[in-house]
Homo-oligomer: A and B are copies of this chain.
Amino acid sequence: MINRVTIPLHQRLSDELRARVASGRWQRGFRLPSEAELCAEFGTSRGPVRQALAALRSEGLITGGRGRPPEVSGAVPAQSFSTFMSFSEWAAGSGFTPGQHTYELARRPACAEVAAMLDVPADTPAVDLLRLRLLDGVPAMIERTSFPADVGRLLFDFDTDSGSVFAYLRDQGVPLARGHHVVDAVAADPFDSDALQVPEAAPLLRERRRSMAADGRVLEASDDRYRPDLVTFSIENSLEARAPLTRVHSTNDATEAT
């Protein structure tokens, strides 16, 4: 039974503060109320307020230090687990219409590479999914995903052209809990260049991902290749907060600071 009646107070606070920033009510540079004022407004003690502010700070949304009330940094906010894991959710949240075209959904014995990524013996049954992902109808990413058979089996009851595999699997109870990502660059192979409409051997931004359950079992492994003129990754770090990573639609320059 799912028991979601009690949302912790500090989380409700951080959600509320996040919403005020997102709505534009609190603009960049806005000096937010002191902890004491927030306590008074929400009728709580300092603990939850500080916990909520710490969460926003770790996301890079606010800055500030001892003696000075926090300020809205206006930086790119860090992305939650599901937003970072799901292309569809990320695209929708960024104001684009995500799309997809499925080339292949196949069950076959795992080849050596797939077996290594899924952490299973070679020739174990696996399910491979090959899709082209679109942003507002424009080809943006080639997605080569493999699943263990018991997870991939679910996909044959799902229209992979309809939307988010991540959301579907989560709704089916697949306990995705952690992700490990490696980002590098590769040259487009003939298939990539044709699908993404770029010259052959053009540089692509590649994210290799392994998604795991809490106990470490690999539930999904993927090789995603992005058109770097369309999608990049962005990081904010500072002396206080370590670097959270976000995937960002690249508007052909890195100098979007106003």
Interface residue tally on A, bucketed by range: 35 or more
Beta-carbon nearest neighbor of A179 in chain B: B237
**What separation, in Å, do the CA atoms of A85 and B63 have in the docked complex?**
19
Decide yes or no whether A238 CB sits under 8 A from chain B.
yes
User: Is the pair B178, A236 in contact by a Cβ cutoff of 8 Å?
Assistant: yes
User: In the complex, which residues of chain B have a beta carbon less than 8 angstroms from the beta carbon of A243?
Assistant: 78-79, 84, 179, 181, 244-246
Q: Is the CB of A183 within 8 A of B63?
A: no
**B residues in contact with A233, CB < 8 Å:** 182-184, 233, 245
Of the listed stretches A35-43, A88-96, A139-147, A196-204, name the one at the interface; the rest are far from the partner chain: A196-204
Is A117 a contact partner of B254 (Cβ separation < 8 A)? yes
Identify 18 new A-B residue pairs, CB closer than 8 A, beyond the known A184-B228, A185-B205.
Answer: A63-B214, A76-B180, A80-B242, A84-B237, A84-B243, A116-B253, A117-B255, A177-B238, A178-B236, A180-B236, A183-B233, A185-B185, A201-B203, A202-B203, A208-B254, A210-B254, A210-B257, A243-B244
A-side interface residues toward B, CB under 8 Å? 58-59, 63, 75-76, 78-81, 84-85, 116-117, 119, 177-187, 201-206, 208, 210, 214, 228, 232-239, 242-246, 248, 250, 253-255, 257
